[in-house]
Structures are given as C-alpha cells and as structure tokens.
Amino acid sequence: MGRILRAIMTNALPTTSADWTHALQQGGRATLARAITMVENDAPEAREVLRAARTLTGHALVVGVTGAPGAGKSTLVGAYVSELRRRDLSVGVLAVDPSSPLTGGALLGDRIRMLTHAGDPGVFVRSLASRGHLGGLARSTGAVVDVMDAAGRDVVVVETVGVGQSEIEVTDLADVRVVVWAPGAGDDVQAAKAGILEIADVLVVNKADLPPAAATEAALRSAASYGAGRAPTVMRTIATNGTGVPEMADQIAELAQQASGSRAAGAARRLQRQLVDAAAMVARQRAQDHSGLADLCRAVRKGELDFDEAASRLISFKA
C-alpha cells in the first residue's frame, strides 16, 4: 500500500528537469501552479523546474503594467485579459507588490480578486509579494515569468504597484511597458518627477470618463515630447467598460513587433537580467564573508591599498 501510494505521488510530481520539460510542454494548470510555487518558495526542486523552463522560453509576449495606486491598473488588466481572450490568446497574470513586504500578500489578494476570469482555463493568475525574496524581486519575477512562458502562455502580464526603483526593475523584464495614469492636477510635473515617461512605451490615461482626462492627456503628451529617447504612445481608456482597450491591445502588439524583434530576443534579455542579479548576489555574499575584509579595510585606511583594488579583491578568488 505504501509503495503504491509512493508510486502515485512520484508520478504526480515531476522530479528531473527532463520530466519537468515534458510536464511544462503539456501546459496544464496544475503543473504550472506547482512549478511556480516551487520557484516562489525557492524550493530545492526549483532548480530543475527552471532548468527545464529556460529551454522552453521565447514564446510569450511579456507586458509590464505599472502606475500609481488606484489608477485602475487591475481593472485595466482585467479588461485587457478579456480582449486577449476574445483574440483566442492564453494569458498569465502576475501581480507583484514590491512596496509592502508584510501586508503584500493580503493586499494582492484583494487586488487580484477584481479579475473576472476565475473559471477560464485560458487565464492563469498569480500574485508575488516581496516577502522572502531576498534574491531580488526582479529575479524571482523573471523566473515566474519564464515558467509561464515555458508553459505556453501567449501573453504574460506583470502588474506592479507604484513607480519606484523596484517597479522599474520589474517592468524592465517586459517586452512592452504600460504606465497607467489617472486624471488629476499637476499631472505633467508629477509624471516627469516619477520618471515614468522614460520607462513607458504606452502611457495610458485611464478613467477617461472623468472630466479632467482631456487636460491630463494634453499635459502628458506635452511632457512626453520633452523626454530623451522615444516618446511613449499616449492613449485614453475607460477600464470599467472596456473603452479604448482593443486599441491598447493593438498598440501593444505593434510595439512588441517593432521592439526586440522576436519573443526569443525578449526571453534572452530577461535571462540576462536574472543572471546579472544572481551574480551580484553571489559577489555581495562573497565580499561579506571574505576572511581578509578587516585587513583590506586597514590597508585602505593606511593608504597602502587603492579602494577599487580592495573591492575587486573581495570578489576575486585571490586573497
């Protein structure tokens, strides 16, 4: 009996990376859920999961959605997902909250419940809080995106709250970045300050049903035209009834085609980001644990050793 049970359980759970490759290629929801949980918890099995996943990436279009709290991001993502489903595309949604390590999980729960795709197998939704992700949120987000990509999702939407440094790092993983802005006073100044004009490929003025929307759009257009690099496309939406959402979906698809060229190039860029993050973490740990740290500090203070030389000794293998 015990042996049979064990056999069933072993069958149910892929172990080697070859098993995971096969399981991910089937694209089932249960496999996807299990794989993401392992990656999220940094479980020992996560290595095999990711090893398999990273040979299968390069299919999904990755869309980053960010913007100030309450701008309507979740509502807009919900409407965008509906539009993608009408186009017969499968979707993965990942809600990331870098700002609230303690309450993040609960808040994200509320935020995610707004999506009205609970019974649709073509929509897979997960949340990711920063709690426990000491390895860097961009890296763990990238890993989860890779798993969704590997499992064959056509579009992966990553929603982050706010426009701080972590959000910018997270949206950096995306092929196309959407910044959602709600109408209000002093929009152009605020937008420029928040640095969103630099990261946005598409700047969406949501809540276009509210009277100040036209002024907001004009202000953002003018602010965007002063920025360095390519100005973002400015669009208006009403997320609550879907107005402007098909146009936004078209625009995202078009920009994706122009941008990195192929989804494979996007996946390669995403992996580069994760590798650099991982390497930085190893370097920091090595420097902290270095037995000669105190001696190197002394030498620098005495003027016997150059600071930059001391720093590179901390991460090299020579003492």
Ligand X SMILES: Nc1nc2c(ncn2[C@@H]2O[C@H](COP(=O)(O)OP(=O)(O)OP(=O)(O)O)[C@@H](O)[C@H]2O)c(=O)[nH]1
Q: Which of residues 109-168 bind Mg ion (CB under 5 A)?
A: 111
Stretch that binds ligand X, among 12-20, 70-78, 134-142, 268-276 (CB under 6 A): 70-78
Consecutive H or E run containing 127: strand 123-129
Which residue's CB is nearer to ligand X, number 53 or number 208? Answer: 208
- CB-nearer residue toward ligand X: 74 or 140: 74
Q: What x/- string results for residues 237 through 276 when contact with ligand X is judged by CB under 6 A?
A: -xxx------------------------------------
Rounded Cα–Cα distance for residues 89 and 108 (Å) = 24
Instruction: State in angstroms the smallest separation of the CB of 74 from Mg ion.
Output: 3
Query: Whole-angstrom Cα distance, residue 230 to residue 38?
Result: 39
CA distances from 179 to 28, 145, 204, 206 (A): 31, 19, 6, 10
Q: Does 207 bind Mg ion (CB under 5 A)?
A: no
Question: How far is residue 36 from each of residues 24, 142, 147, 240, 267, measured CA to CA in Å?
Answer: 11, 11, 7, 30, 17
Residue 58 or 104 with smaller CB distance to ligand X: 104
Measured in residues, the chain has a length of 319
72 near ligand X, rule: CB under 6 A: yes
Instruction: HSE, CB side, 13 Å, CA atoms: give it for residue 38.
Output: 20
DSSP 94: E
Provide the terminal-to-terminal Cα distance of the chain, rounded to the nearest Å: 57
Interacting positions 17-76 with Mg ion (CB under 5 A): 73-74
Can you read off the two tokens belonging to residue 283? 């370097």
109 binds ligand X (CB under 6 A): no
Site string for ligand X, 151-180 (x = CB under 6 A): ----------x-------------------
Binding site for ligand X (CB under 6 A): 69-75, 111, 114, 161, 206-207, 209-210, 238-240
Give contact residues for Mg ion (rule: CB under 5 A). 73-74, 111
